[in-house]
Structures are given as structure tokens and as C-alpha cells.
Amino acid sequence: MMKLQWLIPLLPLLSALLVQLFAARLGKRVAHLSVALGTLTVIVAAYQLVTYIGSDASPSWHSLGTMWGSLYVDPLSSIMSLVVAGISLIVHIYSIRYMTEEPGYPRFFLLLDLMTASILLMVAAGDLVTLLIAWHMIGIMLYFLLGQNTESWPSQRYAFWTFITYRLGDLPLVLAAVLLYQTYGAIDFPTLFARIAADPNATIMGLPTAITAAFLVALSAFAKSAQFPLHTWLPYTMEGPTPVSALMHAGIVNAGGFIINRFAPVFVHSDGVLHMLFVVGLITALVGSVLMLTQNDIKKSLGYSTMGQMGFMVMECGLGAFSLAVFHLIAHGLFKGTMFLGSGSMIHEARQHDGVPHNPLYTFLVERKSASIKLPWLFIGLATLVVPLFILVIAHWFVAPDFFEKQGAIVLLFFGWITGVQVLFATHHLDANNPIRMMMMILLSFTLIVLGYTFIGHAFENFLYPEEAFRNALYHAAGIDKLTFDGLVFLLALIVVAGWFSSYLASREKSIFGDRFGAVRLMLYSLISREFYVADLYDRMAHWLLDASKRFNVWMRWY
């Protein structure tokens, strides 16, 4: 197990070295060498995960014999190593043809291998120093990958923008590591986490160490995972090569979610920080999802989609559902990586066909034409509100009856209910010869998805965090006062019902409200199309800082 764990980050590093040594002799054939070693990395990572599951092993720590330079084999590192290696292999294979006409072809695969090695080292790091080195190297490799085309000014500009944001995100993690080491006197994770559990209320300089460190780790995760308002770098990195976008959105941006899970033993003693995660994640999810809808560039739209999904992932951590966040991270990585790799084909297909196909979905979404045969409004109202809630409650109760005793679980069910309501209410307008049959098929699909997600998610939670007491402690730390929680749930339920009823009234606005919604929609679209003016605010701040520095230079006579 020990040798296998060291092989996983070392194989991509070996691949980068061989690419550099044989680039002049092999030319573009070095890509096949990189793919071969990437395939071997996936095989080793898969074997390690299967061995870990089959042997019913416990987490183990392996060191080179020094204070730092260690790897930690546990469920989180095992599953993440396989996911990262697998996505990286797919990106390598895709890049063979995609990058063939680009300058610096061998250099690209060299950087891709170094990036893969850095991510694999990060997810398997067994101490604070090794984690910080890998965390820092990811930002450096991303800068060079995004700036692969040295003749493109936009790609160079936004690569530097990303580099600065990542460096700002490094500082809080460094401070958190220093505070933890100074307080508990350990840098390896097993010893450090054991000492935190034994003395969670330890202080340094009058500050509670666990809470302060958790806050700093959260800030670092916000920068890496493009949380609002530190998100502006993410959508504009689309100037880089598409394979880099796929790897970044499928693995690199997810580093924020991973780092929160790695420090879960710290967050379990930091309830206020978990509440902050929930608020920031919720705002990011809403902003990212809204901005995604107004983009006319497919890659930029996918970038904002990633921002929204990262918001949901951080929000899940804030609810105490750490394992669900990792499950979400993996599913999103596979899904979004596939979408980025397929974006070029979609653009090519759109250019080949100027006419937009007038299928039922287009007719409903663009021409706003509903089906000629409509189901009764009362039936649709009951179906959209009651059926998703019933399916969600039954599925989770069957898997884990104590699920409803956790406040975070209730909030997750609430968001699942909103999603189900939205899907059912939107699709019942679609044109269909048999609307009842269509609604039954939609309900069946929703049921299968919920059941599959519930069973898989519960099994994944038991694998990732096998100690039930620790899982319950995470949910408990994320909880709030019961009366306040019940009031918030009731208020949000009223908002959902009011929003559903308003949507119904808005669909009949010509006969009830006239055209008064038109001006509001135009104002909202203008605000959203300007991306809530966050980038403009940063631009103004940059100009203000430059002007202030000029005045300061004149005042100090440094000119």
C-alpha cells in the first residue's frame, strides 16, 4: 500500500521528466508517452482503492523519514486519487489531436503532467508542509497552462489574474498551518487531528485556534473555488486551451471542497465558520446559476455553471454534509469535464446549421408556446408541490430513518424539493400529444434519480466517514437554535409557494397584470448582463490604487 501511494504522484512527475528529455528526439510522439504513463497512474490508483476497500484497512500515514514529505492513505485520498488520475488521462488523450497545431506541443504535455502530479500530491499529502507545497504548485502550473499561447494577450492577462487570486488564497492556508503547528506542535495529520480532538478549545494569542484555523482554511478555499466575490477570475480563464479548462473545472477548482474535507476534524469544532460556509456558498450558487443563463459564449457559460456548482458544494459543507460535498465534487468533475471537451463539437455543429430546430423544447422556451392540451391547473399545482416532497422523504426515510433529525439534512431536502418543483412546473408546459403520459414519465425519471442518488450517497458517506459519531458531530456543529431553524424553514417554504404562484400569475400577465413585468425583467437583465458590476468595481479599485500609488510616489519624492 505504501509503495503504491508513492507511485501515484511520482508517475506523472516521471512522465514530465521523460517528455522533457525526449521531446527533441520524439517530437509530437511524446504525447503518447505521457498518455501511457497516465494510464499506468490510473491503474495504480484504481488498484489502491480496490485494495483499500477489499482489505477493510484503516487510514495509514507514510513518511520519507523526515518531519515533512509524507502521504496519508484514507478513503478521501484514495477516491480522489482515482478521480484526478482518470480525468487527467481523458484530458491527455483529448489533447493529442486538439493541441497538435498549437505551438509548444511538448511543453503543454510537460505542464499537464506536472499539474497532475501536483493535484495528486495535494489529495494524498500527509502533513501541512507537503500540502502547502502541492497547493502552491497547483497555482503555478495553472498559470503556465492558461498562458500556453504566449502570443495571446487576453490569455496572458487572465492567467496572471488567476495567479494573483491563487496567491492571495495561499496566504490564509499558510497562516492556518502556522497557527495549528504553534498550538499543537505537530504537522502530520494523524497526530494533529488527534491533538485537536483532545483539546479543541486551545488558544493562541487569545484566539481559539480551531475556529481561527477553520476560518483561514475557508478563506483559502473561497479563492481557489471561485466563491463570491472572489469569482471573477474563473469565467475569464476561458481564453486558455479547452483541455486546460476541462481539467481546471473538473479537478483544480474542486480543490477548495477537498481542502475543507481534509480539515473536517478542525471544522467540527467551528460551528460559526460552518454557518459562514453555508451563507457564502448559497450566495455563490445563486449568483453563478443566474449569470450562467445570460452568457452567449458556451465556455463562459460553463465557467459560471462551475461557479454555481462550487457554491452548492461549499454550502453542503456548511450544512455538515461533508461527504455529500465530495460526492458532488466527483460527479461535477466528471460531468463538467465532459461538457468542456464536447464544447468544440457543439460550436462546430452550430456553425454548420444556421437554422434553429423548432422542436418542442425550443417552441416552449423561445416562442413561449404551450401545449394545446393542458392538464388542470389544480392537478399541476398539487403534483409540483407534493410529489417531489413525498418522493424525497420516502427515499431518505427508507435509507436512514434518523436522517430527518439533522438540521443540515432538512435543508438539503428543502433544496431538493425546490429543484423537483422547478423541473415539474417547467416541463408540464411542453407540447405533447399525451400530457398525462409525459408527466408520468417525468415523475418516474425523478423517482429513479432520487432513489439512486440516495442509496449511492448514503453508501459513499459510510465509506468516506465510517465513524457515525463523527458524522453526527459535523451535522450538530452546523446546526442552529431549533426555534430559529423552524422559523426559517417555514419562511422559505412560504417563499417557494409564493414564487410558484407568482410564476403562474406571470404566465397570465396579459389578462391580470398587463405588461408591468416587462420593465422589471429588462432592469434585471441589464443588471445580470453586467455581472452585477463586480468586475467593474474591481476595475475601479485597481485604478484607484494606481492613482494613489502615483500620488504617494510624488509625495515621497521617489520619482
239-250 tens-digit pLDDT: 677 788 778 766
Q: What is the pLDDT of residue 432?
A: 53
Q: What is the mean pLDDT of the chain?
A: 78
Q: Name which of 53-62, 152-161, 349-358 the model is least confident about.
A: 349-358
Name 541's Cβ contacts closer than 8 Å, sequence gap at least 6.
none
Local confidence band at 40 (pLDDT 50, 70, 90 cut-offs): very high
Predicted pLDDT at 371: 47
Angle 42-46-48 (CA atoms, 0-180°, nearest 5)? 120
Which of 128, 119, 159, 143 shows the shortest CA–CA distance to 255? 119
Q: Are 142 and 154 in contact (CB under 8 A)?
A: no
pLDDT of residue 380: 63
Is pLDDT of 408 > 70?
A: no
507 or 77: which leads in pLDDT = 77
Residue 374, classed as helix, strand or coil, is: coil
Q: What is the mean pLDDT of residues 212-227?
A: 88
Is the pTM higher than 0.95?
no
Report which of residues 548 and 525 the model is more confident about: 548
Burial class, 39, CB count within 10 angstroms (exposed 0-12 / middle 13-18 / buried 19+): middle
Q: What is the pLDDT of residue 519?
A: 65
Tell me the pLDDT tens digit for each residue of 126-141.
899 999 999 888 888 8
Q: Assign 104 a pLDDT band (cuts: 50, 70, 90).
A: confident
- The answer to whether 323 and 360 have CB atoms below 8 angstroms apart is no
Choose between 211 and 508: higher pLDDT.
Answer: 211
Query: How high is the pLDDT of residue 379?
Result: 62
Residue 88 has pLDDT above 70, yes or no: yes
More reliable by pLDDT, 431 or 4: 4
Instruction: Note the pLDDT of residue 216.
Output: 92
pLDDT at 429 over 60: no
| pLDDT exceeds 60 at position 555 | yes
User: Among 170, 156, 228, which residue's Cα sits nearest to residue 535?
Assistant: 228
Q: What is the C-alpha separation between 75 and 58, in angstroms, rounded? A: 9
Is residue 464 scored above 60 in pLDDT?
A: yes
Q: Is the model more confident about 448 or about 506?
A: 448
pLDDT at 396 over 80: no
Q: Which carries the bigger pLDDT value, residue 24 or residue 364?
A: 24
Average pLDDT over residues 52-79: 81
Please give the residue that has the higher pLDDT: either 358 or 213.
Answer: 213
Would you list the domain boundaries of the chain?
1-126, 150-355, 367-507
Q: How many residues does the chain have?
A: 559
List the single range of 18-27, 101-110, 255-264, 523-532 with lowest mean pLDDT. 523-532
- pLDDT more than 90, % of the chain: 6
Residue 286 clears pLDDT 80, i.e. is over it: yes
What is the pLDDT at residue 1? 47
Which range is most confident: 188-192, 340-344, 433-437? Answer: 188-192
* DSSP per-residue string spanning 166-223: HHHHHHHHHHHHHHHHHHH---BHHHHHHHHHH-TT-EETTEEHHHHHHHHHHHHHHH
